[in-house]
Amino acid sequence: MKKVITYGTFDLLHYGHVRLLKRAKELGDYLVVGLSTDEFNQFKKHKESYNSYAERKYILEAIRYVDEVIPEEDWDQKITDVKKNNIDLFVMGDDWQGKFDFLKPYCDVLYLPRTPGISTTKIKSDLK
């Protein structure tokens, strides 16, 4: 079984997020999502999320491409997560191009093109 992992906040879930999850799942058999906790968002990523961790987890677990959701609490947990979960492939949108190449000794690393024209920031500003 080929295991894939990706990480994110996935707040105000939109089709750009879902397209990323779909493509990630299509690259393997089992997709783990490291979901940023509220504390990680607030104190480390300095980004507010509208939905709580529990609500974002509930939504992600309802997506057919997602097999498991684990908490992302720190920038430094990825190597441990890859080892502990026997991950074969790490996937992220290419806004992170190169940022996680340190994982290459532990698993394959792939950056996928972001979906243009949609973002949580754009949603929030368009709704004002």
Q: Which of 128, 98, 97, 93 is nearest to 114 (CA)?
A: 93
Q: Which of 47, 84, 99, 124 is catalytic?
A: 47
Site for ligand C2G in 4-43 (CB under 6 A): 7-10, 16-17, 20, 36
Q: Which is nearer to ligand C2G, 10 or 53 (CB)?
A: 10
Q: Residue 15, Cα to own-chain centre: how many angstroms?
A: 14
Closest distance to ligand C2G from the beta carbon of 107 (Å): 15
Closest distance to ligand C2G from the beta carbon of 19 (Å): 6
**Does the protein bind ligand C2G through residue 89 (CB under 6 A)?**
no
**Does the protein bind ligand C2G through residue 77 (CB under 6 A)?**
no
Q: Looking at residue 42, what DSSP letter applies?
A: I
45 in catalytic set: yes
Angle at 18 between CA 14 and CA 22, to 5 degrees: 170
Token pair listed for 76: 């430094």
Closest distance to ligand C2G from the beta carbon of 18 (Å): 9
Residues lying near ligand C2G in the complex (CB under 6 A) are found at 7-10, 16-17, 20, 36, 72, 92-93, 95, 114-115, 118-119
